[in-house]
Amino acid sequence: MESKEEFLEFAISKFLRYGSKRFTLDDLSHEIGISKKTIYQHFTNKEALVYESLGFLLDKIKAEVTQSVEQVRSNPILGIIMIYKIGLEYLKLFSPTFLEGIKKYYPKVNEQYHNFKNREINGLVLSLLKTAQKNGQIRQNVNVELSCQLYLNHLESLLFQSNNLFDQYSNRELLENLIINYISGIATDSHLVMELS
């Protein structure tokens, strides 16, 4: 690996695929061709490596989301669709094993993941929903905060139920049926949502 960023990207790709507990530092050092001692010179323990590598990925996602939303700033509904389009692309990389592993073994990493999801993603979606409602694009009788909590915040559990929806449907089908149809239901002009997607 030529840079720390490449190392972190490689490490998180393996942790996401196999799980942070199952993919060991021995596996990582073997695949990357460096000693465990070298890894420990840069990271105090495995949790620190998982934390930093996940942080690297979350920063990448945040930058992509920010750029996409900025490009469609005048249309908050399209911004929401873009957020979830990007989110589905990345969430597909996450194995349920990874999410279960950080919850069980790495509480700081789990907190980092949930803080990102709640503050960065859900906070932005809620802000865009409020803007869309203020602009008359979302019906006034919709409680956007409750709506966001009940539905949009729980997509992860829907996607990773016992039968992984990513294994059964394309990202496009998931976006259409989980996000676009939902937004069409609360929008004042549902055909507009369909045209935007």
Lowest-confidence segment of 1-5, 13-17, 75-79, 101-105 by average pLDDT = 1-5
Number of domains in the chain: 1
Residues 6+ apart with CB under 8 A from 28: 11, 14, 39
Residue 78 within any structural domain of the chain: yes
Asked if the structure places residue 188 within a domain, the reply is yes
pLDDT attached to residue 152:
62
Could you tell me the two tokens for 143?
């409680």
Rounded distance between C-alpha atoms, residue 34 and residue 170, angstroms: 37
| pLDDT at residue 191 in the model | 46
Round to whole Å and give the CA distance between 101 and 32: 22
4 occurs within a structural domain? no
Length of the chain measured in residues: 197
pLDDT value at 194 more than 90: no
Backbone phi and psi for residue 141, each to the nearest 5 degrees, phi listed first: -80, 0
Boundaries of domain holding 167? 58-196
In a domain, 68, yes or no: yes
Asked if the structure places residue 155 within a domain, the reply is: yes
Confidence at residue 197, expressed as pLDDT on a 0 to 100 scale: 55
Q: What is the pLDDT of residues 41-83, one digit of tens each?
A: 999 999 999 999 999 999 999 999 999 999 999 999 999 999 9
Are residues 58 and 112 in contact, defined by beta-carbon separation less than 8 angstroms?
A: yes
Give me the sign of the Cα torsion angle 78, 82, 87, 92: positive
In a domain, 121, yes or no: yes
